[in-house]
A and B are shown apart, each in its own frame.
Chain A
Amino acid sequence: MKRIALLLTGLLLLALMAACGGQKPAAEKKCGDEGVICIGLVTDVGKIDDKSFNQSSWEGTQQAAKEVGALEVKYVETTDAKDYAANIKQFTDQGYNIIVTIGFGMGEATAEAAAANPKVHFIGVDQFQGEAIPNVAGLVFHEDQAGYLAGVLAASMSQSGVVASVLGTNLVPPVVAFNEGYLNGARSVNPNIKIIDTYHPGGLDVAFTDPEWGATTAQQAIDQGADVIFGAGGNTGNGALIQAAGNEGVWCIGVDTDQWETVPEAHPCLISSAVKLIPPGIVDLVKMSKDGKFPSGNYFGAAGLAPFHDHESAIPQEVKDLLEKTKAGLLDGSISTGYNPG
């Protein structure tokens, strides 16, 4: 019995310590006080270091926190989509006044949390706002335009007349937008170009985390003559980029962020990335929140092509000119990407 008693005492102690461990020492100022800025971020299903939109959102949030002098900046990773609301609540309960939520999937949970916490500003990355909610700004991007530019670049650089895209799932609207833009951009340069595009056939949980599928698919496309690969699908797309890097005479184009920074293994082939600049968008919105000018509805962040980095000299001047011209045309509306999410 002694041992049992000892054990129970141990358990009790542990529980007690656990109960105490959760309490923080009282700070002078805390989140929720007047004039204090606290920024929280809730990831879409996935990790904070996903080399994709969760990561760049977090980078932007940290930067924004620094610029507005936020007291606290924290994140919570979502492991199951049904935890969105609970994870947001984690921050609203603690008096956070700016909350960044990521991914179209969290749109509904964000709207609900916004209604329950009218004083908190919500930044919804990739969340298109059908109806404007006063305290929600959807940070959205013209992915189709970035994709269009990538398509123009791909078709211009292709020798074989075959280009490919290796994509995450078609269940995610921004991925489809990137690809539709890419297809039409490539066709605008060369109407006869052959484009092979493939979506990952698995569910949402694996579509962005299957680099080996991305790599095999890229190779299968390369074996059939594709010489530019557009990898657009988180780590799945990254697998395609790295695979392309192992093939002579094949170029690749990354997605979301400047992947020169995130996938160094792809340097040999990476001529550019179709980027949507999440960090500056978040910084802008956070600043506006601080200045009392927080916008509601959709806030369009910048989207376009990343620098060519080491391959600057490999891109002919006329291609660069064409890209500039296309970019201008997309901006003033004289060029349409042909993407219509309907």
Chain B
Amino acid sequence: MELTAVPRKISTNWFIKNRWLVLIFIIIIGSIAYAYAVNGRVTTAVLASTLRQSTPLVLGALCGLICERSGVINIGIEGQMLMGAFLAFMANVYLGNLWVALAIGILAGALMGLLLAFMSVTLKMDQIIGGTVINILAIGLTGYFYISGLTTQGKFQPFALGPLAEIPLIGPVFFKNPPITYMAIVIVFVLHYVLFYTRWGLRTRAVGEHPSAADTVGINVYKMRYINVTIGGMLAGLAGAFLTLEGVGTFERGMTNGRGFLALAIMIFGKWTPLGAWGAAFLFGFTYAIQTQLQFMGVNLPPQFIGSLPYILTILVLAGFVGRSRPPAAEGKPYEKEGG
């Protein structure tokens, strides 16, 4: 399934093959509709929160995905996010322009991606070490150089997408958001298209699955990996910028709080596909929003029980429905050009 480059036709066969997926999808839509009928306001609030919580996670997962599809493991997502968040914040403080700050956040991510590419492709370092270096480095640098007491000019505010925002439930959830949230949704689909329906995507996957074969047909393995890992870094930088420019509006040490590692889990959960990652991130965001909602409703349980919900649910879903997932075959192995 992974290597087909031509557009796949969705036939009835597809539905049968993915009957669990379809069933779950129907159940989800059904329950959302029911919940909306019972209490529209709460449903909207929970779903809006779901989308918001899923945004940095899906961006992080896409970062990991595009790196791994080209054969480079990236466990440095957390660090790349943190650097993106920090530099975007600093730019926002000193330049006062959110869009420039956004660009700088992405650039910071790109540089961290480039560093990972340098370590894993050029130096042929173990990729897990490369990612770990990035994580520790980011915690150290941002922690050391952050100065408290800096104020920004504000953060991205939501804007409505015209009449689309008027649709009940879907409108306020999907079409009344700040810019990075829109970007994340667009990127999911663009990446899905690029990865599975373009030459570039085919090459990327070829490099990740069978680099020596790709090499023989004239694909530059090193170049492909460099570019993909750098793009991945940009996505992580964007996720970081989301935190400082759109989510919170300011920076705190260690504010990524493990989101980069959750993103890693989400990437695997989504079986290394953009749409899968989106679904997994949504599931996650949803369990977070529900966990808050349970507290809102005054459910008399220790917060620690409610707090475990997203993680236990993830394990159950993973164990029960998703099961085995297969990573790109050449992942983690530095490519050595034969004879040279």
A225 to B39, CA, bound (A): 13
A69 on interface, CB distance cutoff 8 Å: no
Pick from B52, B149, B258: contact of A219, CB below 8 A. Answer: B52
23 A-B residue pairs with CB within 8 Å: A47-B253, A51-B148, A169-B303, A196-B296, A199-B303, A201-B308, A202-B257, A206-B257, A206-B258, A209-B257, A213-B257, A216-B52, A216-B292, A220-B292, A220-B293, A220-B296, A223-B44, A225-B41, A238-B250, A242-B249, A243-B248, A265-B151, A265-B249
Residues of A within 8 A of B304 (CB): 201
A239 on interface, CB distance cutoff 8 Å: yes
Q: A198-B292, A217-B292 are in contact. Are A224 and B41 (CB under 8 A)?
A: yes
Residues of B within 8 A of A220 (CB): 45-46, 48-49, 289, 292-293, 296
Interface residues of A in 32-81 (CB under 8 A from B): 47, 49-51, 55
Pick from A199, A213, A243: contact of B295, CB below 8 A. Answer: A199
Q: A55-B148, A198-B295, A206-B257 are in contact. Are A265 and B250 (CB under 8 A)?
A: yes
B306 on interface, CB distance cutoff 8 Å: yes
B314 on interface, CB distance cutoff 8 Å: no
Q: A49-B149, A215-B248, A216-B52 are in contact. Are A246 and B157 (CB under 8 A)?
A: yes
Distance in angstroms from A118 CB to nearest chain B CB is 36
Distance in angstroms from A209 CB to nearest chain B CB is 6
Give me the interface of B with A, judged by CB distance under 8 Å: 41-42, 44-46, 48-49, 52-53, 56, 147-149, 151-152, 154-155, 157, 243, 247-250, 252-255, 257-258, 288-289, 291-293, 295-296, 302-304, 306-308
Q: In the complex, which residue of chain A has the Cβ closest to the Cβ of B153?
A: A265
Are B296 and A216 in contact, with the CB atoms below 8 A?
no
Given contacts A198-B295, A201-B303, A223-B44, 14 further A-B contacts (CB under 8 A): A47-B148, A49-B149, A197-B295, A201-B304, A209-B257, A211-B250, A216-B288, A220-B48, A223-B45, A239-B248, A243-B248, A246-B249, A264-B151, A265-B249
A58 to B247, CA, bound (A): 29
Distance in angstroms from A184 CB to nearest chain B CB is 15
Name the 3 nearest CB pairs between A and B, nearest first. A201-B307, A49-B148, A223-B45
Q: A51-B148, A201-B306, A246-B155 are in contact. Are A223 and B248 (CB under 8 A)?
A: no
Distance in angstroms from B255 CB to nearest chain A CB is 6
Interface residues of A in 153-200 (CB under 8 A from B): 169-170, 196-200
A169 to B255, CA, bound (A): 16
Residues of B within 8 A of A264 (CB): 151
A212 on interface, CB distance cutoff 8 Å: yes
Q: In the complex, which residue of chain A has the Cβ closest to the Cβ of B285?
A: A216
Chain B interface mostly: helix
Q: In the complex, which residue of chain B has the Cβ closest to the Cβ of A210?
A: B257
Pick from A47, A199, A212, A219: contact of B255, CB below 8 A. Answer: A212
Pick from A210, A219, A265: contact of B152, CB below 8 A. Answer: A265
A50 to B308, CA, bound (A): 27
A50 to B252, CA, bound (A): 9
A221 on interface, CB distance cutoff 8 Å: yes
A235 on interface, CB distance cutoff 8 Å: yes
Residues of B within 8 A of A214 (CB): 248
A211 to B256, CA, bound (A): 9
Q: In the complex, which residue of chain A has the Cβ closest to the Cβ of B151?
A: A264
Distance in angstroms from B40 CB to nearest chain A CB is 11
Distance in angstroms from B291 CB to nearest chain A CB is 6
Q: In the complex, which residue of chain B has the Cβ closest to the Cβ of A211?
A: B248
Distance in angstroms from A208 CB to nearest chain B CB is 9
A48 to B147, CA, bound (A): 11
A265 to B93, CA, bound (A): 12
Pick from B155, B291, B296, B307: contact of A224, CB below 8 A. Answer: B296
Distance in angstroms from A227 CB to nearest chain B CB is 14
Are B45 and A209 in contact, with the CB atoms below 8 A?
no
Are A215 and B148 in contact, with the CB atoms below 8 A?
no
Distance in angstroms from A66 CB to nearest chain B CB is 20
Residues of B within 8 A of A55 (CB): 148
The interface centre, meaning the residue of B155, B243, B248 with most chain A CB atoms within 10 A of its CB, is: B248
